[in-house]
Every structure is written in structure tokens, then in C-alpha cells.
Amino acid sequence: MLLDPPVLFFAGKGGVGKTTCAALAALACARAGERTLLVSTDPAHNLGDLFGPGVGGVAREVVARLEVLEIDPATETRRYLEEVKANMRRLVSSNLLEEAERQVDLAGRAPGAEESALLERMVAVLLDERQHYQRVIFDTAPTGHTLRLLTMPSLMGAWVDGLLRRRGALREARAGWMGGAEVPDDPVFELLHRRRLRLEQTRALLADSTVTGIVFVLVPEALPVAETRRGIDELADHGLTAAGLVVNRVMPEATSDPFYAERKRRERDYLARIDTMFAELSRLQLPLLAGDVDSVSALEQLLPVFIEGAAEAADQASAR
Ligand SMILES: Nc1ncnc2c1ncn2[C@@H]1O[C@H](COP(=O)(O)OP(=O)(O)OP(=O)(O)O)[C@@H](O)[C@H]1O
Ligand SMILES: [Mg+2]
């Protein structure tokens, strides 16, 4: 059901209303008495625009029981590299340390470094920081970036497996050379193993629909509909299922203006298409407001419709 899982991700095409919906869900949960964390994984953050200054890389309470956090890729990359260096200081002999640290700094500038650091922080939120909250809601970047983030735990897991196998073989070979003498513990193996475990826990958590709900937000237009279909199918390829849809910015019914009447006619077609194409998913509609949704008071206007829609979607789902 749409808003049941304690961890929610709001995903979808650029500009469709992911931040708006994640913020609505977070407000709804906090109002219902749950300690809630709203986290943005989008490098182009918007939560500060909604909840005001002071929102950033450290969780901060903005409304009673609602804390907001914007994960900053650059900060997380620095933090991640410091951690790698700290580990290395334990593992690398001092004459090699300077060169090893230089290599780590270089790797920090390589493509993919920020992505890994962001994943690392998402894993920390899910496995460690989540204990402090009853609800964790992710506002994500547009589809491609988010699909990558959600599928990375299994992709990286397979990669770490390969490293572990090689390291294990090395250890066995060493045992052979040492002719039965006790082989010292391998700290690199231990580190990789710990990383493997955390990635596997995250993968399992994301795949468990009682823990994680991935909600797609879309607007009733051709491209968002197509992108949502592809997104849901790609998740399925990785063993992840979508929990439901929010169809945002639905126009009001009555309009005599021929321009808006034509737009509304098209919209009806897309709404019907969404109903057939995503029949298996819970769906919630949000109206197009006359103004922007750029503050908590603007969110308040949509909140009752959102809460009622989520309850109806839940009823639909239990009727199915
Ligand atoms: N129901 C609505 N009625 C009117 N305006 C809306 C509605 N929902 C969202 N908006 C407006 O649409 C714009 C995009 O919304 P939002 O930032 O939530 O989308 P997003 O999917 O998070 O975008 P991005 O991909 O850039 O992160 C914002 O200016 C917001 O105020
Ligand atoms: Mg956004």
C-alpha cells in the first residue's frame, strides 16, 4: 500500500512533483505523530526552498517531529575518502602511505566517486540512522540517477564479491606457502566482507515491500507516462517493485476556454491510459494548483487531498 512502508522513495521524471510529494508524505507522517526524516538524494536540492534556510547536510527539525536532510555529494565524497584513508593507515606500511593517499585523492576525482559516496550515505541512513525514526522518506533525483542509486547495492555487491573471491584465493595460496602455519588475519578481507554485508542488507531492505515503498510520481502527459513504465520495468529487472503512483497536476474539470478544454481532453486520455497501463498499482491523484508549491503553507493546501487520496488508494489495493 502506498504509504504503509516505513521507508518511502519518491521517484520520477524531472519536474513532475517528486519533491512536492515527498514533502507531503513527510508532513502527513509527522502530523500523524511519527518521528520522520525527509532526505534528498538529488544533487540539485530543493528541500531548502520549501522548508527554509538551515536545511543541509545535517538533519534538522523543521516542523514538529519532521527532520530534513539534504545529502551533499561533495561533502559525502570528502567524508568517504577520509574514511578510506583512515582504513589505509591501518593497512599500508608508512613508506607507501603517501603514494597510497595520493591515489585515493585521485580516485576521489574519478567519475563515479560522488555516486559511490552518495550510495554510502544512503546505506548509512537506511542501516544506522533509521533507528532514530519511525519513517524515512527519500526525495530523489530524476529517474535515471535514482534507478542507478536503487540498483547499486546489488551491482556493487556483485563487484565486491569478485574482490572477496580474489582476496580469499590469495589467502589460501598464502596458507599453502606457509605450510600449515597459522595465516594472520587479513584486514582487507575483513573490510570487504563488512562492506559486502552492508550492501546485501541494503539490497534486501530495498527489495522488501513491507519495508520499502518506491512511489513513482508522474503528470498525465506522454513522456512522463513512458518514462514511468520504463522505470518500473527496470526496477523489476533488479527484483524491486513499485508501491504505487502519484498522478500530479491534474487539471480541474470544468473549463470553457477552448485551449484548456483541449488540454483537459488530452489529459483525460492520458489518465485513462495510466489506469490501464498501471492497473496493478495503487494510484493517487493530486490537483493542479493555481500557484506554485514553494512553501509549507502551499503544501498545506494539497495535504488533505494527499492524505485522503492515499487512504483511497489503500482501499483500492485491499479490494484488488
Ligand atoms: N500540484 C501542483 N500544482 C501546482 N504546482 C505544482 C504542483 N506540484 C508541483 N508543482 C510545482 O511544479 C514544480 C516542480 O515540482 P517539484 O519540485 O516537486 O518536482 P520534482 O519532480 O521534485 O522536480 P526535480 O526533478 O527538479 O527535482 C515546482 O515549481 C512546484 O511548485
Ligand atoms: Mg525535486
> What does each C-alpha distance from 125 to 59, 128, 303 come to in angstroms?
11, 6, 26
Residue 311 CA, ligand 2 centroid: distance in Å = 24
Segment 196-202 shows an average pLDDT of 93
Q: What was the pLDDT predicted at 192?
A: 84
What the block records as the C-alpha cell of 218 is 508522474
Q: Which long-range contacts (CB under 8 A, 24 or more apart) does 56-61 make?
A: 59/129
Summarize pLDDT for 204-250 with one digit per residue, the tens. 999 999 999 999 999 999 999 999 999 999 999 999 999 999 999 99
Q: What was the pLDDT predicted at 247?
A: 98
Q: Is 15 in the pocket of ligand 1 (CB under 6 A)?
A: yes
User: How far is the C-alpha of 281 from the C-alpha of 242, rounded, in Å?
Assistant: 8
Q: Which ligand is nearest to the CA of 50?
A: 1
Q: Is 46 in the pocket of ligand 1 (CB under 6 A)?
A: yes
Active site residues: 42
Q: What was the pLDDT predicted at 1?
A: 60
Q: Is 224 in the pocket of ligand 1 (CB under 6 A)?
A: no
Q: What was the pLDDT predicted at 64?
A: 97
Q: Is 285 in the pocket of ligand 1 (CB under 6 A)?
A: no
Query: Is residue 143 over pLDDT 90?
Result: no
Q: Is 309 in the pocket of ligand 1 (CB under 6 A)?
A: no
Neighbours of 166 (CB within 10 A): 11
Summarize pLDDT for 46-82 with one digit per residue, the tens. 899 999 888 999 999 999 999 999 999 889 999 888 9
Looking at the CA of residue 249, tell me the nearest atom of ligand 1. 1
Q: What was the pLDDT predicted at 43?
A: 86
Task: Say which residue, 19 or 98, is predicted with more confidence.
Answer: 19
pTM of the model: 0.92
Q: Take atom 25 of ligand 1 and give the residue whose Cα is closest.
A: 14
Question: Under 8 Å CB-to-CB from 14, ≥6 apart: which residues?
Answer: 142
What the block records as the C-alpha cell of 251 is 487539471
User: How far is the C-alpha of 21 from the C-alpha of 10, rounded, in Å?
Assistant: 7
> What does each C-alpha distance from 149 to 12, 48, 62 come to in angstroms?
13, 22, 26
> Could you state, in order of their start, the residue ranges of all structural domains in the chain?
7-74+114-319
Looking at the CA of residue 298, tell me the nearest atom of ligand 1. 31
Rounded mean pLDDT of the chain? 91
**CATH H superfamily, domain 7-74+114-319:** P-loop containing nucleotide triphosphate hydrolases (3.40.50.300)
Summarize pLDDT for 241-295 with one digit per residue, the tens. 999 999 999 999 877 899 999 999 999 999 999 999 999 999 999 999 999 999 9
Contact 29, 135 (CB under 8 A): yes
Q: What was the pLDDT predicted at 105?
A: 86
- Best of 13, 18, 20, 70 to mutate for ligand 1, by most ligand atoms within 8 A of CB? 20
